[in-house]
Structure 1
Amino acid sequence: MTPRLALLPLCLLGSAALAAPVLDDAVRRRAEELTRTGLHPSIVIAVIEGKNSAVYGFGSVHAGKNAKPGADTVYQIGSVTKTMTGLLLAHAVVDGKVKLDEPVATLLPSYKVPAFDGKTISMLDLATHYSALPRLPDNFAPKDPANPYADYTEAKQRQFLAAYHLPRAPGGAFDYSNIGYAVLGTALAAQAGTSYEALLQSRIAVPLGMRSTSNQPSHGMLARLAPGHLLTGEATPAWDLNVVAPAGGVYSSARDMVAYLQAYMFKPLRPYALAVKPRRPLAPGSDTKVGLAWLLEQQHGHSYAWHSGQTGGYTSYAAFTTDGKRGVVVLTNTARTVDALGLSALLPGTPLPPLKKPLAAIEVPRAALAEYVGEYPSGAEFTLSVTLGKAGLEAAGTGVGSAPVFASAKDQFFFRAIDAELAFTRDATGKIVSAVLTQGGQDVVLPRKP
């Protein structure tokens, strides 16, 4: 097969190939470059225009083999799972089984759920990340950093909630919380008297014909699974999210995700419309609003809903314009963001950022590395611990396994396991006083603990 033919879209719907939605040229070129240079082993991009859709595959599912990804290649979708959990909440509300303002504690009577001065956490608080629960539970201590959630059980979730003290009242501010969505999924399953997986299948996957969507993938799905990869290019297993599955444990394919987005786009039923209704601002005065997991924004005169996801070896992006005219899904089997690629595919003409060249590591004497060792807290909930291991400097965040960091210049370091950089600042005497963690386009200043 010639390269030109290999890039023809895999038509899912529509009367003819000519009706297939076209992928923006800039997005196509970037996807080709990302896979050709090995930054992504494979990328699948689905483009939806109303009832028509097409899937474009780049790279290879298996290294060294001509195995292009396609509409039925399976990927872990990470936090895009949250939109499905939010939709399950919308279904329960429409069916009259749950109310958005209902305290989650009423659905989990055997749990001790924290409150703040009598203000309880509602189902809406969990679904919009306004619960005041942290991103990760404070008893999250994975035995295996390569599969960090595998040993986080419902018993540990229960213990966390019983001991945790909310720092502020629920409903006051957005604070992204994986454990919050785990609790939401647990509560919805408890109300329905079933498991989260059974609820996912009965309310979403089966009605929409999503045969390759599950938190518990079948043998057939696993046979079509694109192997996950770290940023270093090393293979890594898909995560087992256990009780945290409602926050990020679902596997799916481009074919299934097209059906999923079209359910929101084309004359949506009430649960779907309810899920993308703006509820709260992302921040005070922000134009970005939060629905039931979905983030709602406006750019270039277009309103759209979106969410992205990432696990140890996979990244995803799903979005659609709220007028139902265009939707996009991007799936890849490496832990490197595809948000910009997805947005540019959704809104053609949106500039793609320059492709960053991989940083080169330099040698630093071990005695000089010892200067950086210490703890760098950010409030009471997160501390970056920098240690000196056998192979060099390592950094670990609260509840996250340790990863090596590599020097690129004086006081400048980068990770290879995740897309992040670490810089250290000094005072007038030359003493290191803080670290700056750069990840996802954000800089977080972490003062050094004396």
Structure 2
Amino acid sequence: MKSALVIIMLISGMCIPAGGFAQSRQQQKTDSVFRLIINYSKTHDADAIYNLADSDYKKSISQARFRDFLFRGLFSNPIKRDSLVSFVNNLIATYKIELGDAKMQLTLGLDDDNKFNYFGLGPYKVVATNKSTRAASNNPLKSATDKIVDSIARRYIQKITTVGLSIGVIKGGIISTYNYGETKKGSGQLPTPATIYEVGSISKTFTATLLAWFVNEDKVSLSDPITKYLPDSVAANPALKGITLVNLSNHTSGLNGLPSNFESQKNYQESNPYKNYTRDQLFTYLKTCTLRSEPGKKYAYSNLAVGLLGIILERVSGKPYEQLVTEIICKPLGLKSTVQHISPLLAARFAPVYDENAVETSAWDFDALAACGSIRSDITDLLLYAKANMVPANTKLYKAFELTHQITLHTEPQVGLGWHIIKADGVSYYFHNGGTGGSRSFLAYNAEKGLIVILLSNADVSTDGVGVEILKKLQ
């Protein structure tokens, strides 16, 4: 789903970290291509810029049309200055460019060969202003932690594009929860620790735990080829033969971020993109798909890979994904609000979701790819979940958690099973974030520090900066 620290924004919308909080290598590469574009723009060399594109982009627009596009836009006035606005999910960079009195926005994405495969140019979108009144909160502002959290959370919740925010902190054994804003715009109803949000890609850590559970039960091995668990007609694709189960969980499978037939699915809904993508459609894609890199060699975040892992675990167990999450993780931990499907009993606690412009939008539903981002939960449950990951226990579930923490990818970013390892001012954290079309989430913990920070928002406005800043101030 959309994702940070620097973040990884996928076309799908779900999130994850790119590594540390300093500029990532991918951002450096994207900035380098951007600088070439700016330099060529100064001499109006449209053809040189066109040659920076990958073959697929060139197929989408002719050289002549691209040249005309640039002369009507980027070349219309001398460039006075430029600046990076955002680099979302280690994939898409947005730059502000001042052309005379005009301001434009250039959005750029690169392929694996550092050629741009996305080039968007249009008027600069003004950063959202703040709310005219102070958002409500139950933060008592008594302890040092209270005041630190409030000073940072205020910068988020006062944006006109945010709606509700719930924060959970465990520091030194003390549990603190904070709520800001409102569950529904105009309702005046403050969220509570029991308000349920979409958690997006944090779901991937639950999926990784299921994988580790079945490894410990000797039902599967991390080194098993995925073809062992797929229908013969799918397993016959030679491109899939080098992919193992661990590759699906640590994003080194070489599979695309999403299947190429994802948006061509029957009844595709842009506002609810995963709802109607079925297992049959996924298997149809896998029968002929090719890989973007050799399995095990390169990190490339993939909702497709983790979604496929969930299907494999369903085939191994004979049970649906949500049932596995409930039986193996939620019931032993007493998680009562962590579900894929919202029941009538829980519906009143589920917060409506809002897009990046604070317009109410659809919550996301999942079919085949549920394991990559379908879970909904509340702050109370996620604090229990994170604490169970952090505090050793002599249980089968903790042994599964422990296996997910073992590093399986030692390059940038470091990844266990599902969990990414990031650093804030030199301190390492197990981390995952999440994002759907109307929500954002953040979860990080460090056992040695005894520190957990979790944020849940019902708006498509990143919580990563808030989460990271809280970590830095509390550690």
Residue 233 of structure 1 corresponds to 358
After superposition, the Cα gap between the structure-2 partners of 1:341 and 1:24, relative to the gap in structure 1 and judged at 3 Å, is farther
Q: Give the structure with the higher percent helix.
A: 2
Pick the aligned partner of 2:178 from 56, 59, 62. 56
Pick the aligned partner of 1:6 from 138, 162, 171. 138
Pick the aligned partner of 1:313 from 427, 438, 443. 438
Alignment of 1:36-435 (within 5 A): 36-49=158-171, 51-110=173-232, 112-113=234-235, 119-141=241-263, 143-268=268-393, 269-281=398-410, 283=411, 286=412, 288-323=413-448, 325-348=450-473
C-alpha distance in 2, partners of 1:90/1:24? 39
Identity of aligned residues (%): 30
- Alpha-carbon shift at residue 299 of structure 1 (Å): 3.2
| Counterpart AA for 2:234 | K
- Alpha-carbon shift at residue 209 of structure 1 (Å): 0.7
C-alpha distance in 1, partners of 2:339/2:144? 27
CA RMSD of aligned residues (A): 2.3
C-alpha distance in 2, partners of 1:99/1:349? 39
- Alpha-carbon shift at residue 4 of structure 1 (Å): 9.3
| Counterpart AA for 1:22 | T
Q: What are the superposed Cα offsets for residues 227-251 of structure 1, whole Å, 9 maximum, x if unpaired? A: 1001111100111121111000100
C-alpha distance in 1, partners of 2:172/2:401? 16
- Alpha-carbon shift at residue 50 of structure 1 (Å): 5.4
C-alpha distance in 1, partners of 2:280/2:240? 25
| Counterpart AA for 1:275 | T
C-alpha distance in 2, partners of 1:70/1:131? 39
C-alpha distance in 1, partners of 2:147/2:236? 48
| Counterpart AA for 2:402 | A
- Alpha-carbon shift at residue 300 of structure 1 (Å): 2.5
| Counterpart AA for 1:49 | K
Q: Name which structure has the greater RCO, CA cutoff 8 Å, separation 6+.
A: 2
| Counterpart AA for 1:39 | T
Q: Give the structure with the higher percent strand.
A: 1
SS of the residue corresponding to residue 270 of structure 1 reads: helix
After superposition, the Cα gap between the structure-2 partners of 1:159 and 1:4, relative to the gap in structure 1 and judged at 3 Å, is closer
- Alpha-carbon shift at residue 106 of structure 1 (Å): 1.2
SS of the residue corresponding to residue 369 of structure 2 reads: helix
Number of residue equivalences: 335
Gap regions ≥5 residues in structure 1: 10-17, 351-450
Gap regions ≥5 residues in structure 2: 1-133
C-alpha distance in 2, partners of 1:22/1:170? 44
C-alpha distance in 2, partners of 1:71/1:237? 22
Q: What are the superposed Cα offsets for residues 409-450 of structure 1, whole Å, 9 maximum, x if unpaired? A: xxxxxxxxxxxxxxxxxxxxxxxxxxxxxxxxxxxxxxxxxx
- Alpha-carbon shift at residue 221 of structure 1 (Å): 2.0
Say whether the 8 Å CA contact 2:272–2:362 is kept in structure 1: yes
TM-score (norm 1): 0.70
After superposition, the Cα gap between the structure-2 partners of 1:34 and 1:5, relative to the gap in structure 1 and judged at 3 Å, is closer
Say whether the 8 Å CA contact 2:180–2:190 is kept in structure 1: yes
After superposition, the Cα gap between the structure-2 partners of 1:72 and 1:5, relative to the gap in structure 1 and judged at 3 Å, is closer
Say whether the 8 Å CA contact 2:337–2:381 is kept in structure 1: yes
- Alpha-carbon shift at residue 193 of structure 1 (Å): 1.0
TM-score (norm 2): 0.67
C-alpha distance in 1, partners of 2:439/2:233? 33
Q: What are the superposed Cα offsets for residues 14-64 of structure 1, whole Å, 9 maximum, x if unpaired? A: xxxx9x892452x41232243233221011110012543111001011222
C-alpha distance in 1, partners of 2:473/2:447? 16
After superposition, the Cα gap between the structure-2 partners of 1:117 and 1:39, relative to the gap in structure 1 and judged at 3 Å, is closer
